[in-house]
Chain A
Amino acid sequence: MDLAVEERGAGTPGASPAVAMRGITKRFPGVLANDAVDFEAAAGEVHALLGENGAGKSTLSNILTGLYRPDEGEIELHGEPVHFHSPRDALEAGIGMVHQHFRLVPPFTVAENIVLGEHGEDGGGGMFVHPRSIERRVLELGKRYSVAVDPRARIWQLSVGEQQRVEILKALYREARILIMDEPTAVLTPQESEALFVTLRSMAAEGRTVIFISHKLHEVKAVADRVTVLRGGRNVATVPTADASARELAAMMVGRQVELSSRRDRDAPHPTTTALEVEALTVPGDRGANAITDLSLSVRHGEIVGVAGVAGNGQRELAEAITGIRPPSSGRVRVDGKALRTSDPRSAIGAGVAHVPEDRLGTGVAPSLSIADNSVLKSYRGPDISQGPFLRRRSIYRHALELIKRYAVVTPGPDLRARDLSGGNLQKLVLGREFEGKPRVLVAASPTRGLDVGAIETVHSYLRQAARDDVAVLLISEDLDEILALADRVIVLYEGRLSGAFDPATSTVEEIGLAMAGGEHR
């Protein structure tokens, strides 16, 4: 990804910045989300907003889009002070935002979505819309910024990458001079990400301002002119991206030196016998169509196999079928040669299959129950936790204390509700509990999604430790960097089938990315 060398419009020096936020403070009950934050972005630049989860990035952008009002501080656009009373004010002032979760109406067409809520003369004003003129303008904008989408297509027919284009078109259609992109690459393949960066750069080249929210360092390096780092609600620094290395940015972001996961930084694998075998598995998805079709794979003890793929290509269904949660329509799962009963999570648990689910708060734990209760979610039937029909509350409490200590879960105590834990600590609790069961196979689905750099490091070290302890690890992740850093072998899922198998030591990101996109040449 070396798009960084493209020409960069750096804004006119001396002119007032396109966006200036000064001394922004925003308090929520018990949390100081923004503490006297200063932020400036010039016209014609891509400005990255970098920070861990909870650093205040979303709060700051929600203030800029008029969703929140700051408790203190002021906002200027092109040198003029503004006071937003609602998101509409910000919209009318030329601020557009592309959210991480798209705000689109699936049964509507692209054009309809773009004019939705618009009160302009040519748009949905009054009773009538003029589809022809809208469609023409959408096509024209699409061509100009290389975000072409068929304006008559319905949203549900589009891929995630195309839906994002619709969001961008929506902002462009409304003449947004300032565009905020909230973690836009989380759902894209590497190729799609690069195409997005081209679009963002061409928008900046026209004098628009792009605010790019991310916690991925290499993307920030690749696309942004300058970067503002937030930590704990304060701004740490604003620097030109060319002047800071990824390592320096990471240090600013977490406030200490971190080891960036580089490729292949784990011990040479020592795989032995086959632990997990999936044979010709076909799994229906929620909508009836097959989410996984005739898929076979195997994982040996002590090996980490990475399953790469863009979100929604059958990853969740694969994990759920292996762990017995979702019934497959055909095929078989074996652990150490013994076939599991399909559609019976207890059979998988009994055979030593641990599972770190993608949805850790709703599935991995019961959110309103205490840490103590959640620490025995799978082992409560065991003899040291219960006696006959009765629970042994004391040993549950002791068990939880030990888990908290061993896996460094930061909490006031075992009585805290699981939902009150931070993402990283929740994941430590889930991982710890799954390891306690002495698993033979670990299925980990997006184990670091939404976690901050420090927590990601911890989770990675736990996964490596599991492999060292001879556990067969199936790591399902949309983060290719993570897979490359951890996996001994990589397989790629595309539309529920294997579209490639790679040795991470000898393959490039581009090759794997191509397989993630279905292998078509662009």
Chain B
Amino acid sequence: MTLQIERRLQQPRWLSVAVPIGSIAFAFLVMAAVLGVTGHDPLHVYRDLFDSAFIAEGALTQTFVAATPLLFTGLAAAAAFRMQVWNIGAEGQLYCGAIGAAGVALQLGPDASSPLVIFAMVICGAAAGAVWGLIPGVLKTFARTNEIITSLMLNYVAGYILTWLIFDSASYWRDLSSIQARSFPQAKPMTENAFWPTLDLGSGTSSVVIPLGFLIAIGIAVLLHVLYKHTKFGFEVQVIGDSTRAARYAGMRTRRKILAVFAISGGIAGIGGASQVGDFSHTLDADPNGLQKSYYGYTGIVVAALGRYNPFAVCLVGFLIGGLQNAGFTLQGADFPSGLVGVMQGIILFCALGGELLIRYRVRWSSDAPVAAEEVQPASVEGVP
């Protein structure tokens, strides 16, 4: 009996639903063993997990908070990956968006009307993210550098700029108004007119608060869907992503499209940065152990992959992973070390990504030995001297 893995000739539609569900179920089975060994009751832990992600008082609100940045970075990655352009710089583009949004909000000051400030924050966040995203784009189209490396490196550059603005310089963003602020560096706080509103549903213990950023991300997903499915631009992006030679053959201006996609991708991540400032921190969080330790940009890559670059699936996956992260915070405690939370999240992501293989390939048990094309060790040949 041997195990054979062969490519599926057809990929039935039901598989793309069944495989992720099966993978998650499998992950929970594996995790049950880990929990059992470490002396926890798996069923109890899972109930807690689900409860603290979606059911308990305020759980959903916290999940929306955790999911919002993941939606932006996931959509940013998906927008680029669809064209086989590997922008993994959403992390840095998000920092730049935060810098841009915070800058314009400070510039407009406390007297500007709130909708104007919010609008300006979104636009400036997108612009800053797009500019940062265009750097690897320009390098790729004109100097033929590998965008994976350049966009990744620029994440660190953006992180250092962010830290420098508040900790190592007397920049516009830094609060220098008091002696205390001078000795303990911090960013200027936003005024209330730059706080983004929320959508409050329900009341009392069952109330759910959805941040504006989450809703903007859903809107971006709709726009991306229309852009990629129903416009000439989207058609060109698909052709270029599939074969640049075919695109050139068809007379498409591939360079411009690649630059546009970098700008779109960076812009979406940039709005994610604006949302961090406007929805949550209300200041530019430059602490190297703050925003920069959240790794939203990298998690977004996983979100995009699990959502198969489909904008709506990315939103759903982003929401679920947000729930998982939120539950992780709640679960950890004296008898439940944070390492175990990490193991659990890791196993779930690992199984979900690994399960993708089963959509394209199928595994078969066969009684006969498989084709052994690769093995080159001398074996006996019967009947031939």
**Which residues does A use to contact B, with CB under 8 Å?**
29-30, 67-69, 71, 77, 80-89, 92-94, 119, 323-325, 344-346, 348-349, 355, 357, 359, 362-369, 373, 377-378, 380-381, 386, 389-391, 393
Contacts and interface: CB of A to CB of B under 8 A. Distances in A.
A232 to B, nearest CB: 18
B230 A390 contact: yes
A378 B232 CA distance: 12
B232 A82 contact: no
B238 interface: yes
A87 B232 contact: no
A348 B251 CA distance: 9
B172 interface: no
Interface string B345-385: 00000000000000000000000111111011111011110
Contacts of A359: 245
Contact of A68 (B6, B248, B371, B381): B371
B18 interface: no
Contact of A373 (B230, B235, B369): B235
8 contacts: A29-B9, A82-B383, A82-B384, A86-B376, A93-B384, A325-B249, A349-B250, A381-B232
B242 A367 contact: yes
Given A69-B369, A81-B383, A389-B232, A369 B238 contact: yes
Contacts of A366: 238-239, 242-243, 246-247
Contacts of A325: 248-249
A369 B249 contact: no
Interface in B232-290: 232-235, 238-239, 242-243, 245-251
B168 to A, nearest CB: 45
B230 A364 contact: no
A30 B362 CA distance: 13
Interface in B300-319: none
A82 B245 contact: no
Contacts of B234: 391
Contact of B381 (A92, A368, A373, A390): A92
A369 B239 contact: yes
| Most B CB within 10 A of own CB, among A85, A349, A359, A368 | A85
Contact of A349 (B243, B251, B381): B251
B7 interface: yes
Contacts of A362: 243, 245-246
B246 A365 contact: yes
Contacts of B250: 345, 349, 377-378
Given A355-B249, A369-B238, A85 B379 contact: yes
Q: Which 10 A-B pairs have the closest CB atoms?
A: A346-B251, A80-B383, A366-B242, A345-B251, A85-B379, A363-B245, A366-B246, A93-B384, A377-B250, A366-B239
Nearest to B239: A366
Nearest to B9: A30
B76 to A, nearest CB: 22
B113 interface: no
A183 B372 CA distance: 25
B384 A389 contact: no
Given A345-B251, A363-B243, A365-B246, 16 more contacts: A85-B379, A86-B379, A87-B373, A323-B249, A345-B249, A349-B250, A362-B243, A363-B245, A366-B242, A367-B243, A369-B239, A373-B238, A377-B250, A380-B235, A389-B232, A391-B235
Interface residues of B, number: 36
Nearest to A381: B232
Contact of A391 (B232, B251, B377, B382): B232
Contacts of A369: 238-239, 242
A345 B233 CA distance: 18
B371 A89 contact: no
Contact of B249 (A71, A89, A357): A357
Nearest to B245: A363
B230 A391 contact: yes
A365 B384 CA distance: 49
A365 B239 CA distance: 9
B371 A69 contact: yes
Contacts of B382: 81-83
| Most B CB within 10 A of own CB, among A67, A82, A89, A346 | A89
Nearest to B253: A346
Contacts of B372: 69, 85-86
Contact of B378 (A83, A92, A346, A364): A92
Interface in B98-155: none
B171 interface: no
Contacts of B378: 88-89, 92, 119
Contacts of A364: 246, 249
Contacts of A380: 232, 235
B123 to A, nearest CB: 21
Nearest to A392: B230
Nearest to A81: B383
A88 B376 contact: yes
Contacts of A77: 383-384
Interface string B6-48: 1111000000000000000000000000000000000000000
Contacts of A83: 381-382
B169 interface: no
A67 B373 contact: yes
A143 B116 CA distance: 87
Contacts of A119: 378
A343 to B, nearest CB: 10
A377 B368 CA distance: 46
B371 A363 contact: no
Contacts of B242: 366-369
A322 to B, nearest CB: 13
A378 B369 contact: no
A344 B242 CA distance: 21
A320 to B, nearest CB: 9
A159 to B, nearest CB: 27
A317 to B, nearest CB: 14
Contacts of A393: 230
B231 interface: yes
Nearest to B231: A389
Contacts of A389: 231-233
| Most A CB within 10 A of own CB, among B8, B250, B378 | B250
Nearest to B246: A366
B381 A82 contact: yes
A443 to B, nearest CB: 11
A71 B4 CA distance: 14
A378 B249 CA distance: 9
A357 B372 CA distance: 36
Contact of A345 (B7, B9, B248, B381): B248
A93 B381 contact: yes
Contact of B251 (A82, A84, A378): A378
A390 B248 CA distance: 21
